[in-house]
Amino acid sequence: MQVYFDNAATTALDPEVIRVMIDTMENNFGNPSSIHSHGRQVKTIVEKARKSIAQILHTSPSEIFFTSGGTEADNMAIVRSIVDFGITHAITTPIEHHAVLHTLEEMEKSGKVHLDLLHVDSNGNIDLNQLEDLLSKNPRTFVSIMHGNNELGNLNDIEKISEICQKYKAIFHSDTVQTMGHYPHDLSKLKIDFITGAGHKFHGPKGVGFLYINANTKIKPMIYGGAQERNMRGGTENVYGIAGLAKALELSYEHMEEHSAYIQGLKSYMIEQLQTAIPDIKFNGVTEPNKALYTVLNVSFPCTDMADMLLFNLDIAGISCSGGSACSSGTDIGSHVLGAIRADGTRPSVRFSFCRNNTKEEVDFVVNHLKEICK
């Protein structure tokens, strides 16, 4: 049996998405910037996709900008905000995706901002009282806090965070890559400056994503060289990817309630089976359904002698997942997220991430192998 439990890294393309992309490839090859009929036909595909995404997210098409993925979208929001608004103070968390954390750290190294990292407890919960305290001292600040953590699965209350940021007139960006297509986002109600999405996290294509920019937040382009994306992102659009991205998001919203319930059931089942099979395991992060991604489960195992070989053994058994350990010394390279929550660096940790294609039979297969490995 081959088991793929690494859906937080990337998901398989939905067959309907593939069909849309193939049809676009076969029948629409024009450049969307060309003014002739071939170009106009392709431009229509791009704008229909933009309108579809905007309708789903309850916002205006003029606030959706296509990018190469979540990393570019995060970088654009962060770098342009700091430079264009002359911001000198930024706040984030030590458990952000590197697309955010490394970008802000680089901005600090270059002398653009002073960066504060919010405290996180042993379960990965962030300190919102500290956020408010920091903002009260320096209100004109850039804040970047993710919606769902890609390693632990913790969900942050971005509605509450947005209220705090709005109170102090801070610029608020949230990396929503792990929740886009899995949780509803209503931008007509959420007071936020930027959110990001990446197609391959919800059964769409790789290499395409988008950045939502609130109409009241004016920034300059990060990539120059053309008038594409309403002069906000130079470069010929990835038309096939954009068509697939829009279709994938449409499908995810159409079946969201059904799929989320099913996947949450799989995650809960795996928690139960692991607790029975390996009593000394520990779950990293929060596991309560309303406080954590239903797609992600991070587990620390007691087999410390297998720390360097656990993922290898799972791979040999046909099981694909991801993982690592917290740094146990100053020279170790480990998960910055597990390090931030002070996880035991001697215990191997594995992130299992699920999608609608997974089954209980696959969970049983994985748990049985883990039980043998951890004997």
Task: State what percent of residues in the chain have pLDDT above 70.
Answer: 97
With CA atoms as reference, report the closest residue to 256 among 333, 179, 369. Answer: 179
Task: State what percent of residues in the chain have pLDDT above 90.
Answer: 90
Is CATH 3.40.50.2000 what the domain over 3-11+256-373 is classified as, yes or no?
Answer: no
Instruction: Give me Rg for the CA atoms of the chain.
Output: 21
pLDDT level of residue 329 (50, 70, 90 thresholds): very low
Tell me: the pLDDT tens digits for 169-216?
A: 999 999 999 999 999 999 999 999 999 999 999 999 999 999 999 999
Cβ atoms within 10 A of the Cβ of 111, count?
A: 8
pLDDT level of residue 149 (50, 70, 90 thresholds): very high
pTM of the model: 0.95
> Mean pLDDT throughout 4-8?
97
165 is catalytic: no
Tell me: the pLDDT tens digits for 65-91?
A: 999 999 999 999 999 999 999 999 999
Q: Name the more confident of 327 and 121.
A: 121
pLDDT of residue 333 exceeding 90, the answer is: no
pLDDT of residue 373 exceeding 70, the answer is: yes
pLDDT of residue 52 exceeding 90, the answer is: yes
∠ CA 273-277-282, rounded to 5°:
80
Edge-to-edge strand ranges of the sheet holding 64-67: 64-67, 209-213, 194-198, 171-174, 142-144, 89-92, 114-117
CATH number for the domain running over 15-254: 3.40.640.10
So what's the pLDDT on residue 334? 78
Q: How far apart (Å, rounded) are the C-alpha atoms in residues 57 and 176?
A: 12
pLDDT of residue 328 exceeding 60, the answer is: no
Out of 17-31, 88-102, 323-337, least confident range: 323-337
So what's the pLDDT on residue 139? 82
Q: Quick check: helix, strand or coil at residue 345?
A: coil
So what's the pLDDT on residue 324? 60
Mean pLDDT of the chain: 95
So what's the pLDDT on residue 327? 41
* Strand intervals (E) in the chain: 3-4, 64-67, 89-92, 114-117, 142-144, 171-174, 194-198, 209-213, 282-284, 296-300, 319-320, 322-324, 349-353
So what's the pLDDT on residue 314? 94
So what's the pLDDT on residue 214? 98
With CA atoms as reference, report the closest residue to 335 among 269, 285, 268, 281. Answer: 285
Check: CB of residue 233 under 8 Å from CB of residue 223.
Answer: yes
pLDDT level of residue 307 (50, 70, 90 thresholds): low
Domain spans, the chain? 3-11+256-373, 15-254
| Fold match between domain 3-11+256-373 and domain 15-254 | no
So what's the pLDDT on residue 190? 97
pLDDT of residue 127 exceeding 50, the answer is: yes
Neighbouring-strand partners of residue 64: 212
Q: Which of 165, 303, 321, 327 is catalytic?
A: 327
So what's the pLDDT on residue 66? 98
Q: Quick check: helix, strand or coil at residue 170?
A: coil
